[in-house]
A and B are shown apart, each in its own frame.
Chain A
Amino acid sequence: MDVTEELQVIDAVLKGDVDQFEVLVNRYQKPIVNFVFRMVGNYEDATELAQDVFIKSYVSLSSFNRQYRFSTWLFRIATNRAIDFLRKRKVAVVSMEGDYEDYTPQYESNGNSPLETLEDGRLKMLLGDAIQQLPLEYREVIVLYHINEESYEEISEITDLPLGTVKNRIFRARKMLKKILEGEI
């Protein structure tokens, strides 16, 4: 679906065709859930927050500014919602021994052998934990760039930061991750 088609869907929703909103939810559910999951570190909270993000976007759809892409706007809502949630939870830093009782996300299969999967799983866990230890402003950009694979320009629009600051934060976040993961990778 290109930008024009997306705008047509948005117009249809605004005219009262609620079912068309499902098209947008279907398209963006995965990126938004993944983004929020890596921001808050808990799958259950992430899915609830992601639901909230979509409902909020539906209610505020009339205020959507067409000069941005819908995804940019959606990620902006998701960022604000995740940061708001984390601030309320007052968890700035999560320990490496964080609780994983309700952390049961289903990962995409990558077709690796069991041994590779085991090694990959360890790396996955280490990186997931390491991302959780980053300060929010660094976590936000590193997740958008590396997990959601957004461009620097799009991240700049989502976060409302200058392009140079975005690049610098991503670099500094990787540097912090390197320190956290020293000797593991």
Chain B
Amino acid sequence: MKDCEGLKYYLTDAMESDAKKRFEAHLTDCEKCSDVVKEDRTISRALFQVPKVNTPTRFVATVMGPVWYCRCAGSRYGRRTSRWQRAGCGRAGHCRGSLSGRFRVVYLHCRAQHFLCALRCLAFGAVGSSNCGERIPGTLLCLL
């Protein structure tokens, strides 16, 4: 049996308010439309109740590790990250172990590299225009 005119527009929220009111009045008379709307609302309600999952506790750290790496290495993300995920970053002595472990190593490596940048900047008096582009106080804070 064919659906009543307007049912689809009502369910897709594509009706002007006047047409919507008229259709709502029609719903009280038409059992078929009323059932279809009811079913759709049930599914809709249930979908809104699907629970949210929590993020892993170290999620932010595992994001910020590579972010710091990108920042310090001054490199583009490109393919390097997918390589981290598959087989490490490719640099000898880095990015081994579990995923979080790899990121942690990269993160620490990154901070160490930052420290070297800071020393270089201090040695050559290039305060504020270091290779890594970081301000010196911020750079020294990496040590902490």
Do A and B share a complex? yes
Task: Write the residues of chain A forming the contact surface with B, with a CB cutoff of 8 angstroms.
Answer: 16-18, 21-22, 25-26, 29-30, 33-34, 37-38, 43, 46-48, 50-52, 54-56, 58-59, 105-108, 110, 120, 123-124, 127-128, 131, 142, 146-147, 149, 152, 164, 167-168, 170-171, 174-175, 177-178, 181, 185
Task: Please judge, given known A-B contacts A47-B59, A52-B81, A56-B77, whether A21 and B64 are in contact too, CB under 8 Å.
Answer: yes
22 contacts between A and B (CB under 8 A): A16-B133, A18-B68, A21-B64, A21-B67, A25-B64, A29-B60, A29-B63, A30-B52, A33-B59, A46-B53, A47-B59, A48-B99, A51-B59, A51-B62, A51-B66, A54-B63, A58-B77, A108-B53, A120-B49, A146-B48, A164-B12, A175-B40
Inter-chain contacts of A37 with B (CB < 8 A): 53
Give the number of residue pairs across the A-B interface with Cβ within 8 Å: 121
Inter-chain contacts of B56 with A (CB < 8 A): 47
Interface size class of B (residues with CB under 8 A): 35 or more
Inter-chain contacts of A21 with B (CB < 8 A): 64, 67
**Are the CB atoms of A124 and B70 closer together than 8 Å?**
no
12 more CB-based (< 8 A) A-B contacts, given A16-B71, A59-B76? A16-B135, A29-B63, A46-B53, A55-B70, A55-B77, A56-B77, A108-B54, A120-B51, A127-B50, A142-B47, A174-B47, A177-B43
CA distance A37 to B52 in the complex (A): 10
